[in-house]
Amino acid sequence: MKASSVPGVSGAEDKMRIILLGPPGAGKGTQAKVLAEKLKLTHISTGDILRQNVSKGTQLGKQAIEFMSKGLLVPDELVTKMLTQRFEQPDVRQGFILDGFPRNIRQAQTLDEILKQRNMSIDMVVYLDASEPVIIQRLTGRLVCSACGAIFHTKNMPPKKDMICDNCGGSLYQRADDQVKTIKNRLAVYQKESAGAIQYYEKQKKLHRLDADEEAETVINNIIHLTVQYNDSPKV
């Protein structure tokens, strides 16, 4: 059993391996960044890695953009190859938060295989449940820093200076897939594909549902509470 520790202070939660699941705009990226900092975990976002590949014009980026711009999933084989390479990096050993992967049952099964080969497993899956009107409001107002990736919102989390990142002074931009038509496609794909992954973790008794319509601070406190409960519980 891991010893418990004070919420928000890095310690016994180190090396936790957490998945954040949830629809587009539920707040996975926002919460993953805070959680990674508080618990000193590595944040792995498949969406961020794909967007970096697109902006660098890599072969993967050229293949992925066609799907991303329509709000479709990038084919499993491309994303799992990319994730396998990411798992070769040593920072994964300090524990991680996966954001945006898995998106379907095939990816969930592949993830377990990748982890098994490295003597690792997932500790906890947090499902951030958000309603459609909230999702649309969040995504149509989202701003992202082009330099450090920090996430803002025109109304919910506005930057101090217009279109300038509070953290690094980089310029903010709107993601190309945050147009209403593309958001609706992403939501439809999410509804169709994600059910299998959710059931997969429900069967493993690893899934925890949280109301992600709540304000960001409430959501992060609830996630931290889950990690503390997990670390206090007996492990078999």
Active-site residues: which are they?
Answer: 28, 103, 142, 175, 186
Residues 136 and 50: their CA atoms lie apart, in Å, by 22
Number of residues that bind ligand AP5 (CB under 6 A): 36
Question: Segment near ligand AP5 (CB under 6 A), from 1-9, 34-42, 85-93, 153-161?
Answer: 153-161
Burial of 139 (0-12, 13-18, 19+ CB in 10 A): buried
Q: How far is the CB of 79 from ligand AP5 (least distance, A)?
A: 4
Q: Which pair of structure tokens corresponds to residue 146?
A: 């082009």
- Residues near 164 by Cβ (< 8 Å), separated by ≥ 6? 170, 171, 172
Residues 122 and 17: their CA atoms lie apart, in Å, by 5
Q: Any idea which residue has 């310690």 for tokens?
A: 11
Q: How far is the CB of 62 from ligand AP5 (least distance, A)?
A: 14
Q: How far is the CB of 236 from ligand AP5 (least distance, A)?
A: 30
Q: How far is the CB of 235 from ligand AP5 (least distance, A)?
A: 28
Q: Look at the chain and count its residues.
A: 236
The residue from 30, 53, 227, 231 that contacts ligand AP5 (CB under 6 A) is 30
The residue from 16, 19, 27, 96 that contacts ligand AP5 (CB under 6 A) is 27
Burial of 18 (0-12, 13-18, 19+ CB in 10 A): buried
Whose CB is nearest to ligand AP5?
A: 47
* Cα atoms in the 13 Å half-sphere on the side-chain side of 182: 16
Question: Segment near ligand AP5 (CB under 6 A), from 10-18, 65-73, 111-119, 227-235?
Answer: 65-73
Beta bridge partners of 124: 18
In the bound state with ligand AP5, the residue whose beta carbon lies nearer, of 51 and 231, is: 51
Q: Any idea which residue has 């479709």 for tokens?
A: 72
For position 200 contacting ligand AP5 by CB under 6 A, the verdict is: no
Q: Binding string to ligand AP5 for residues 120 to 139, with x set by CB under 6 A, is what?
A: ------------------xx
For position 98 contacting ligand AP5 by CB under 6 A, the verdict is: no
CB 53 within 8 A of CB 60: yes
Question: Segment near ligand AP5 (CB under 6 A), from 4-12, 52-60, 64-72, 203-211?
Answer: 64-72
CA-only gyration radius of the chain, Å: 17
Q: Which pair of structure tokens corresponds to residue 104?
A: 């379907």
The residue ranges that bind ligand AP5 (CB under 6 A) are 22, 24-30, 46-47, 50, 67-68, 71-74, 79, 100-101, 103, 107, 138-139, 141-142, 151-153, 156-157, 177, 186, 215-216, 219
